[in-house]
Chains A and B, each alone.
Chain A
């Protein structure tokens, strides 16, 4: 595997389900990000982890819960989501705050 990978690529869940999105970066970076991309809106930063510590929480509802067990892995735990949470969720990584960000292919989430 190279670059940034995300699983699953597609996810359909009910509003009462609990699911997790997984991201893994193979670039040796020390910062990882979760973004949300909804139709007709710019990408929105959700969370940032640097050296496995959360450094940014962009006013995201508590039904989204991130976890960063090490510098290569990032999870987004989902519970009691709403239909408006349906979107493409993108993971990214970088070496520090000021360098190029590299993105994964995304998880297309549909909440019924």
Chain B
């Protein structure tokens, strides 16, 4: 059974700092891994999707990496801004016929002006 862990549970940084959010998964046989952002009381916004054959994906100030063998993914946010404050979730897709994404509990990020 796939389990996804995100560390830290919460992070507070000053504006402008570069930061890294961590995601680990127990079953390395994943098809892809997806990072999401969730604002309070809102739905999820997809940020990046990394296929199992890829090492990283970039979108603007965001860079996500994937190391299947070690069961880890990181989300790097450059030059953080107060608008980046949200909960960041990672989810592993183990493929197969069950369409299932296994989510971590998320990292609550606060960027202070």
Contact = CB atoms under 8 A, between A and B. Distances in A.
A103 B43 contact: yes
Contacts of A50: 99
Which one of B45, B99, B102 has the greatest number of beta carbons of chain A within 10 Å?
B99
Nearest to A45: B100
A104 B34 CA distance: 16
Interface residues of B, number: 27
Nearest to B5: A42
- Which 5 pairs show the lowest CB-CB distances between chains A and B? A103-B44, A105-B43, A43-B103, A97-B99, A42-B103
Interface residues of A toward B: which range? 20 to 34
9 contacts: A43-B103, A56-B98, A56-B99, A92-B44, A97-B98, A98-B32, A101-B91, A101-B101, A103-B44
Interface of B: 4, 31-32, 34, 36, 41-46, 49, 89, 91, 93, 95-106
A104 B104 contact: no
Contacts, number: 65
A11 to B, nearest CB: 14
Contact of B93 (A31, A90, A98): A98
A105 B42 contact: yes
A56 B101 CA distance: 12
A88 interface: yes
Nearest to B9: A40
